[in-house]
Amino acid sequence: MIRLLIIFVLVVVLLSLLGVNIVSLLNNKTLRDNFSFIWNWTKHIWITYLKAPVARAAIFIWEEGIKPVFQLLKDRNNASNEGDARIGRTISIT
């Protein structure tokens, strides 16, 4: 969070050094229209082309990668709590 705040302050300082008036940028209708156009196209591309594949990829990563690891850790923890001799035993050599 602090890093983001520092980056924001540096951007404002950089824009000020370049002579850019931020208030005039915010009041510029053409600039607002351009950003609105870009934002609307970004939303369109996300909803139309990217949302479903990204969701499928996230589900695949969860089901095939993360969930089995959590299940393995859970099983080991349960076995260790139940006193399973195969997991967590120590070997003493005398």
Q: What is the pTM of this model?
A: 0.51
Q: Please give the full DSSP string across 13-79, using - where no structure is assigned.
A: HHHHHTT--HHHHHH-HHHHHHHHHHHHHHHHHIIIIIHHHHHHHHHHHIIIIIHHHHHHHHHHHHH
State the pLDDT at residue 94: 56
Q: Is residue 19, in this structure, part of any structural domain at all?
A: no
The mean pLDDT value for 75-86 works out to 71
4-57, pLDDT tens digit by residue? 999 999 999 999 999 999 899 889 999 999 999 999 999 999 999 999 999 999
**Total structural domains within the chain:** 1
C-alpha span between 7 and 12 (Å, rounded): 9
Range of the domain at 47: 36-77
Q: Is residue 58, in this structure, part of any structural domain at all?
A: yes
